[in-house]
Chains A and B, each alone.
Chain A
Amino acid sequence: MDATLAGLIDGIPPEQLAIAAAAAALLALVLLVALGRQVGRTRRAQRAEAAARGHLRTVTATMREGIIAYDMKLELIFANPAFEQLTGYPEEDLRDQEFLQYIHPDDRPALTAEWERLERGGSLRDQEYRVVTRGGQERWSSSSWEPLRDEVGRQIGYLGTEFDITERKLAEEAMRLDTELFQAMIEVQQSVAAAGLDSRTMMRVIADRGLRLTGASGSVIESIEGDELVPQVHIGASAPRLRLADSLSGLCVRTGELQRSDDVLSDPRIGHDAYREAGIRSLLAVPLKDEQRILGVLKVVSSRPKAFTDRDAKALRLLGGLMGAALGHAAAYEGRQLRLEERTRSLQESEQRFKQLVDVAQEGIWVADDRGVITYVNQRMAELLGYQNGAMLGRRVYDFIDAASRAGAQRTLTRPSASGGESRDLRFLRHDGGELWGLVSASPIVSREGGLAGTVGMVTDITERKRAEERLRRSAERLAILHDMGQAILAARSPAEIGRAALGRIRRMVPCQRCSIVLFDFPKRQALLVAGYAGGNPISTTPIPLDTLSPGDVLRRGTVRYVEDIATLESPPPIFRQLMEDGLRSALSVPLLADGEAIGEVNLAATAASAFDSEHRDIALEVAAPLAIAIQHARLRDDLAQKSSELERRVAERGAALRSATAELETLLYSVSHDLRAPVRHIGGFAELLLRDGGPGLDPAVRHYASRIREGASRMAGMLDDLVQLSRLGRQDMLRRPVDLNTLVEDVVSLLQSETAERLIDWVVEPLPTLECDPALAKIAIVNLVSNAIKFTRTRARASIRIKPVRAEDQDGIAVQDNGVGFKMAHVGKLFALFQRLHRPDEFEGDGAGLAFVQRIAQRHGGRVWAESEVDGGSTFYITFGGPDVRHAS
């Protein structure tokens, strides 16, 4: 009987433990998966931001545009290397800066004023502003700002893309200056042609032009009188008479060359104080010459040192050249009353000079009449469009302009603004069929009667700039693709969704009539269509054999395949025959590579032969790279989801098995504890009766054995009571409510203290938490722990028992620490098992049920028990009740 019972009881924990351990291991795996999702949910914002940061950092690392991102609090998330190149600020420096501090303070308000649109989820495109670099230089940037979003589309910040357009801005500025210069020249030309102007008026016009073109604070035209230079016209600055001998103007006359002084105060060539008195710091002077003689000097001055650039010098030189001729002409006209022929000749000379001037210009120049018919083009203009010079004459200027630009051209050319500052990008058609992008500005030619006699147009070749802009546009598009793919990965989209998005992008950038994405299944030798379009319509097919596409080995190699003309293939694979039937001629396939393995390919086909060039291939490759990663990611995710649901199913099965096993064990425990009571009583009862009724004559051996049976039965009786108790702890309804453990422990200690009045025990009770638990069960657990502490310190002259709070795995509980006999930590595993004892009965009484009760109570609360000890070094027992201190967990 004893053996059977022991066998039954011994048999319970290991089996239960084995099942529980297996279930716990599975559960841990599932929890990891679930936890991942949970963490995703609770820390979504941080994670999305971190993912966005990591993802963007990778994709923008090699981009040529500066990329900068701020979070919603306007703190820097990151900036890419190109941004550092643009601004000179490394990312860490930007982190210490104010928001948008790299933008020129004058230009910043214009951007921040619009910021509200970004906050509302809109975007800011084509913002042009100056950037102040770390070195203090100004650079121009064309930027666009977009909301930065996480995978569910929620805005988490702002993303700025900065294109360096400094070169373009400089070119435009130069263009503007050239246009002004050219206008000035036309005006001069017209003045000369009109010949009605007196020379003084003409000089005033020139002086005014010089002032405007160079940004000077004053301009003067001086004529030579004896050994002096006498101002004839002056604007904006006082103009003293100067000696030829010791002035820069004099030097200009003597050498016949332009003279420039960046700082008159320290210029040894200047021997007078007139400038100092007038507050002038820098100047430019050019001689005014007709064919033979130097007539005077055109001079611009500024109150700033180093005020004039090479460009200003060029402008002044041209003005001076034209002016000289005009002056000579006017002087002659005024002086000698030129005959008509002479006047005509002079005029022609002047025109010739003008033509020479414009013929060597860097810009293309044309003159057209009021109907737009070209009457003159310069050499450069003809070169730009690839025509013989004469071939353009007599044709309308619009004939040379691309149809798409024509309307815009007409607006620009028929309504030329008086200022001439307006310019426009137009696409010209070259004679060889190529394109030329020109920045065009037009000026009116005003007839003597004041009407529009025609236009003078000026073209700067900006084809390179346009192409650069196109490249920028493409790289912006590429960034968009990378961003799409990244978002697709983050948003956990299916391969089909990712594929459709990618094809949409490709179709926008590569002209093709059919496109598809297939994935290879090498084991099944099949290709699976992920997404595809024929014309604009989505297509779908069942899996097709890999051989249809190409022999399997070729596909495995993951190379780009391009067939310029399918019709020329000798033995095309079946898919090409099909394409040919559908009227397609060229085909481009780029591989989808994941970890170096070809997992599929992107196929493009077009109706024209040789439809694809290397750029198309590059675009397809660029899309394919992130696409492959995104698809691989999606597949892994599907795989993981499948595995995790499989795992969940298995856990559910094991859980059900565990529950039924537990229920069986509970039943067994119940029946053992109830049904064995009577037989055990009978054994002990009859042994007792044998002893009583046997009387003094009973055989001593019989008496001995009967006593042993009595003792055994008595012990078993105690164990059965324990089992009943344990079974009841497992079945009893729980009444959870907040329990102040201070009060509870106080009760327990005072109860037990009264039973140990003869012992010397130092009690220390620290402040304890208030926990959600069943007060009756918690009390049983604590009584057991404290009783143990009292029991196992019995051998100590002065016992010490400390009760203190403990916190583990977000749960609060209490610890009972004693200075008792302790135990070997090697046995800690047995400690909480039922009827396990670490001491002999003659050392310490008890049947080893108390800690099993404590453990059962902890388990029922979702808490746990554990212990620390060393032999002769005291023990500490810990218990938690499944939750935090309710006073803190509001």
Chain B
Amino acid sequence: MLPDEADVLLVQDNPLEVELTLRPLRDLDPACRIGVARDGEEALDYLLGRGAFRHRLGAPLPRLVLLDLKLPRVDGVEVLRALRASPRASAAPVVMLVPVSEPRELAQCYQVGANSCVQKPVDFDAFYETIQTVGRYWLGQNLAPPAAAGQRGSGAVGR
């Protein structure tokens, strides 16, 4: 599920949800490389190149991280906080997928550095449209950070 290089990293534990989220992205661009992390830890390991993904250390960041708010073990906000704190991957564009727009949760997401927050509609047609809109923008219009942009501070210079 996790190629060494991915355009999109989807962080989602529910396989049904994964399948339904991949579909609109695939329909948008069948060539798109999508990685799926099943929980927050795996996502961090992948992005930060540690644990099982030590070999990815220094690999390019995905152009879009679709991070679900509710995750087992380490939840979405914690993943984002760790990500933004890491010199290696702080610049990764992260879109938070939230079940409903709870003001308190939204505030928290933005506070720890979400690039965008999107509510997942229950109705599939609406959901499909939403995911495609997100993909179209972040993979199409949005200019991704340069390869070295995520590398900040002395650690980055030293690499």
Residues of chain A having any CB pair with chain B under 8 Å? 673-674, 677-678, 680-682, 684-689, 710, 713-714, 716-718, 720-721, 724
The verdict on A717 contacting B17 (CB below 8 Å), with A674-B99, A724-B100 known, is no
Chain B residues 15 to 65 lying within 8 A of chain A, measured CB to CB, are 16-17, 20, 23
Measured between beta carbons, the chain B residues less than 8 angstroms from A718 are 123
Cross-chain pair count, CB within 8 angstroms? 57
Chain B residues 121 to 140 lying within 8 A of chain A, measured CB to CB, are 121-128
Which among A682, A721, A724 has the highest number of chain B CB atoms within 10 Å?
A: A682
User: Could you tell me if A678 and B121 are in contact, using CB atoms closer than 8 angstroms?
Assistant: no
- B108-150 vs A: 1/0 string, CB under 8 Å? 0000000000001111111110000000000000000000000
Q: Of A673, A674, A685, which contacts B20 at CB under 8 A?
A: A685
Bound Cα distance from A815 to B120, whole angstroms: 37
B23 to chain A, nearest CB (A): 7
Measured between beta carbons, the chain A residues less than 8 angstroms from B16 are 678, 682, 685-686
Measured between beta carbons, the chain B residues less than 8 angstroms from A714 are 123-125
The verdict on A673 contacting B120 (CB below 8 Å), with A682-B17, A682-B20 known, is no
Bound Cα distance from A721 to B123, whole angstroms: 10
Bound Cα distance from A710 to B99, whole angstroms: 20
User: Could you tell me if B99 and A684 are in contact, using CB atoms closer than 8 angstroms?
Assistant: no
Which among A674, A678, A717 has the highest number of chain B CB atoms within 10 Å?
A: A678
Q: Of A674, A678, A681, A689, which contacts B123 at CB under 8 A?
A: A681
Measured between beta carbons, the chain B residues less than 8 angstroms from A685 are 16, 20, 23, 124, 127-128
User: Could you tell me if B100 and A681 are in contact, using CB atoms closer than 8 angstroms?
Assistant: no
The verdict on A717 contacting B99 (CB below 8 Å), with A681-B20, A682-B16, A686-B20 known, is no
B54 to chain A, nearest CB (A): 33
A-B contact pairs, 28 of them (CB 8 A): A674-B99, A677-B120, A677-B122, A678-B14, A678-B16, A678-B17, A681-B20, A681-B120, A681-B123, A681-B124, A682-B16, A684-B123, A685-B124, A685-B128, A688-B125, A689-B20, A689-B23, A713-B122, A713-B123, A713-B124, A714-B123, A714-B124, A717-B121, A717-B122, A718-B123, A720-B122, A721-B122, A724-B100
Q: Of B120, B122, B124, which contacts A688 at CB under 8 A?
A: B124
**Chain B: CB-nearest residue to A680:** B122
Bound Cα distance from A687 to B127, whole angstroms: 14
Bound Cα distance from A713 to B20, whole angstroms: 15
Measured between beta carbons, the chain A residues less than 8 angstroms from B126 are 717
The verdict on A674 contacting B100 (CB below 8 Å), with A681-B20, A682-B17 known, is yes
Measured between beta carbons, the chain B residues less than 8 angstroms from A684 are 122-124
B30 to chain A, nearest CB (A): 14
B42 to chain A, nearest CB (A): 19
B112 to chain A, nearest CB (A): 21
User: Could you tell me if A678 and B99 are in contact, using CB atoms closer than 8 angstroms?
Assistant: yes
User: Could you tell me if A681 and B14 are in contact, using CB atoms closer than 8 angstroms?
Assistant: no
Measured between beta carbons, the chain B residues less than 8 angstroms from A682 are 16-17, 20
Q: A677-B120, A685-B127 are in contact. List 10 more A-B contacts (CB 8 A).
A: A678-B120, A681-B20, A681-B127, A684-B122, A685-B16, A685-B20, A685-B23, A688-B125, A717-B121, A718-B123
**Chain A: CB-nearest residue to B27:** A692
Bound Cα distance from A673 to B121, whole angstroms: 12
Bound Cα distance from A713 to B127, whole angstroms: 13
Measured between beta carbons, the chain B residues less than 8 angstroms from A720 are 122
How many chain B residues touch A (Cβ–Cβ < 8 Å)? 16
Measured between beta carbons, the chain A residues less than 8 angstroms from B20 are 681-682, 685-686, 689
**Chain B: CB-nearest residue to A715:** B123
Measured between beta carbons, the chain B residues less than 8 angstroms from A710 are 124
Bound Cα distance from A681 to B128, whole angstroms: 10
B46 to chain A, nearest CB (A): 23
Measured between beta carbons, the chain B residues less than 8 angstroms from A724 are 100
Which among A677, A680, A687, A718 has the highest number of chain B CB atoms within 10 Å?
A: A677
Bound Cα distance from A279 to B100, whole angstroms: 118
Bound Cα distance from A716 to B121, whole angstroms: 12
A799 to chain B, nearest CB (A): 31
**Chain A: CB-nearest residue to B123:** A717
Bound Cα distance from A710 to B122, whole angstroms: 12
**Chain A: CB-nearest residue to B101:** A724
Measured between beta carbons, the chain A residues less than 8 angstroms from B14 are 678
User: Could you tell me if B123 and A677 are in contact, using CB atoms closer than 8 angstroms?
Assistant: no
Bound Cα distance from A681 to B131, whole angstroms: 13
Measured between beta carbons, the chain A residues less than 8 angstroms from B23 are 685, 689
What 10 A-B pairs come out closest when comparing CB atoms? A717-B122, A685-B124, A717-B123, A685-B20, A684-B124, A682-B16, A677-B122, A688-B124, A724-B100, A681-B122
User: Could you tell me if A677 and B124 are in contact, using CB atoms closer than 8 angstroms?
Assistant: no
Bound Cα distance from A721 to B122, whole angstroms: 8
Measured between beta carbons, the chain A residues less than 8 angstroms from B122 are 677, 680-681, 684, 713, 716-717, 720-721
Measured between beta carbons, the chain B residues less than 8 angstroms from A713 are 122-124
The verdict on A673 contacting B100 (CB below 8 Å), with A681-B20, A682-B17 known, is yes
**Chain B: CB-nearest residue to A723:** B100
B17 to chain A, nearest CB (A): 6
Chain B residues 50 to 107 lying within 8 A of chain A, measured CB to CB, are 99-100
Bound Cα distance from A564 to B127, whole angstroms: 105
Bound Cα distance from A773 to B68, whole angstroms: 37
Bound Cα distance from A699 to B14, whole angstroms: 30
Bound Cα distance from A713 to B121, whole angstroms: 12
A633 to chain B, nearest CB (A): 58
B27 to chain A, nearest CB (A): 9
Which among B16, B121, B122, B128 has the highest number of chain A CB atoms within 10 Å?
A: B122
A123 to chain B, nearest CB (A): 72
The verdict on A677 contacting B99 (CB below 8 Å), with A682-B20, A685-B20, A686-B20 known, is yes
Measured between beta carbons, the chain A residues less than 8 angstroms from B120 are 677-678, 681
Which among A677, A681, A686, A717 has the highest number of chain B CB atoms within 10 Å?
A: A681
Bound Cα distance from A686 to B14, whole angstroms: 14
Bound Cα distance from A678 to B99, whole angstroms: 8
B19 to chain A, nearest CB (A): 8
Bound Cα distance from A265 to B14, whole angstroms: 134
Q: Of B100, B125, B128, which contacts A677 at CB under 8 A?
A: B100
B15 to chain A, nearest CB (A): 10
Bound Cα distance from A721 to B101, whole angstroms: 11
Bound Cα distance from A681 to B123, whole angstroms: 6
Bound Cα distance from A718 to B121, whole angstroms: 10
A367 to chain B, nearest CB (A): 115
B55 to chain A, nearest CB (A): 33
B10 to chain A, nearest CB (A): 14
**Chain B: CB-nearest residue to A732:** B103
Which among B20, B99, B123 has the highest number of chain A CB atoms within 10 Å?
A: B123
Measured between beta carbons, the chain A residues less than 8 angstroms from B99 are 674, 677-678
A350 to chain B, nearest CB (A): 126
Bound Cα distance from A558 to B120, whole angstroms: 85
Bound Cα distance from A710 to B127, whole angstroms: 13
A584 to chain B, nearest CB (A): 83
Measured between beta carbons, the chain B residues less than 8 angstroms from A716 are 122
Which among B121, B124, B127 has the highest number of chain A CB atoms within 10 Å?
A: B124
Bound Cα distance from A677 to B70, whole angstroms: 12
Measured between beta carbons, the chain A residues less than 8 angstroms from B100 are 673-674, 677, 724
Which among A673, A688, A716 has the highest number of chain B CB atoms within 10 Å?
A: A688
Which among A684, A713, A718 has the highest number of chain B CB atoms within 10 Å?
A: A684
B21 to chain A, nearest CB (A): 9
Measured between beta carbons, the chain B residues less than 8 angstroms from A721 are 122
Measured between beta carbons, the chain B residues less than 8 angstroms from A686 are 16, 20
Bound Cα distance from A714 to B122, whole angstroms: 8
Measured between beta carbons, the chain A residues less than 8 angstroms from B125 are 688, 714
**Chain B: CB-nearest residue to A716:** B122
Bound Cα distance from A673 to B20, whole angstroms: 20
B110 to chain A, nearest CB (A): 20
B125 to chain A, nearest CB (A): 7
A679 to chain B, nearest CB (A): 8
B109 to chain A, nearest CB (A): 16
B58 to chain A, nearest CB (A): 35
B64 to chain A, nearest CB (A): 21
